[in-house]
Structure 1
Amino acid sequence: MKKPTSKRLPMANYTTPRINLHPHTRRVQIYHRDTLLADTSDVIELREKDYPQRQYLPRSDVDMSKPTTSTAVTHCPDKGDSTYYSLPDLLDIAWSYDHPIDEMSAIAGRLAFDSNKMTELVE
């Protein structure tokens, strides 16, 4: 797994009544039980009305040898089509918008984890 960085990626300021994107450099770690799956300081926090805040992490800071692509796919009119990822013993732990709508390009290819299924630590 890549060492955490504090580099910021350029992104468009995209705000709708429903969604706000907030890049930050607080360290975020994702665990499945005692196993560290992700560790980064290059995060985009997505705040969406009526949903919990989600941390979108660069794929390069996620141990992608553990999750596999799930059969689940969803569509959000404000973000686009998502692809889900699972662990052998836990379905749909994370998702990614590989080709989001243009206004959401900042989260393209990044993963967000389901904090009800994974342990998410934000410093």
Structure 2
Amino acid sequence: MREAPVSREGSGSGAAVQPGRQEHFPLSSLRSDVLDASGHTTQHRELGETSWFAVDAGGRRTERAAWQFTGLPSYAGELEGRVAFAWRAMDAFYEEDERILGHAADAYHRIDIRDTSRTLEVRSGDKAIARTTRPLVLYESGFAPRWYVPREDIQEKELTPVEGQTFCPYKGLASYYDIGEAKKAAWSYREAYTEVGRVDDLVSFEPDKVEVYLDGERLHLEPGQQVVPHGVDRGLGTDEALSH
């Protein structure tokens, strides 16, 4: 189902069930024949009783595709009379004329990319994979810093492209490389989104799979460097992104 049956009127506060931004639409903005109360309720630990709806649109019916917080505490009163739609139950979401992939952007999610003259070296056993004095460091909310290396400073013959990509709603599609026996030890956004275009086609390396040294000090995998998929996202696979 597309988002056509609803209009995008003022977002309410994001519910704790959604890591990105979750839109809550006024009931007055919905077509009267879209929602069908299922009688199913759950209890949100912060926002109280939640009532679920089936959605009828486009000749299809999808169960538990929308919900409304019906037992709101006083501090969340701005969500009163509003309904949210489950990302995975919809065929697509749009903001204005643009389709949103993965999940809606979190207004508090930030990415900053900085130049640096620090020396970054990458080794695999006795092989030098990369050495640069002009890496870029990418700081992203909730993640440890990631270091990106220009291809001119990499021994590309040591990188073996592998099948399969992953999708980031903020950066785009990531392609991966094996380095010797180290599987998916490096990755690159070969067509990075415009917002993070500075790392376009640069390569970053996994410090737990190859040796990465910053100014002579070896880096190690830090908390926040492993991506855990969010259970309520539309899905961070590549199919939706590749088709658009």
- TM superposition score normalised by structure 1: 0.82
State the distance in 2 between where 1:102 and 1:19 align.
12
2:183 is matched by which residue type in structure 1?
A: L
Asked if residue 18 in structure 1 is aligned to residue 102 in structure 2, the reply is no
Asked if residue 39 in structure 1 is aligned to residue 146 in structure 2, the reply is no
CA radius of gyration, larger in: 2
Structure 1 residue 113: deviation in Å? Answer: 0.3
1:74 corresponds, among 166, 189, 196, to 166
Question: What residue is the counterpart of 2:155 in the other structure?
Answer: 63
State the distance in 2 between where 1:86 and 1:18 align.
29
2:199 is matched by which residue type in structure 1?
A: I
Question: What residue is the counterpart of 1:85 in the other structure?
Answer: 177
Question: What residue is the counterpart of 2:69 in the other structure?
Answer: none
Question: What residue is the counterpart of 1:48 in the other structure?
Answer: 140
Report which of the two has the higher share of strand. Answer: 1
Give the gaps of 5 or more residues in structure 2. 1-107, 216-244
Cα RMSD, aligned residues only = 1.3
State the distance in 2 between where 1:42 and 1:88 align.
25
Asked if residue 117 in structure 1 is aligned to residue 212 in structure 2, the reply is no
Percent identity, aligned pairs only?
26
CA contact (8 A) 1:72 1:92 kept: no
State the distance in 1 between where 2:187 and 2:123 align.
15
Render the CA deviation track for 1:47-82: whole Å, top value 9, x for unaligned: 122222111000110000111111130010110001
Question: What residue is the counterpart of 1:9 in the other structure?
Answer: none
Instruction: Give the count of matched residue pairs.
Output: 108
Structure 1 residue 37: deviation in Å? Answer: 0.3
Give the gaps of 5 or more residues in structure 1. 1-15
Structure 1 residue 87: deviation in Å? Answer: 2.3
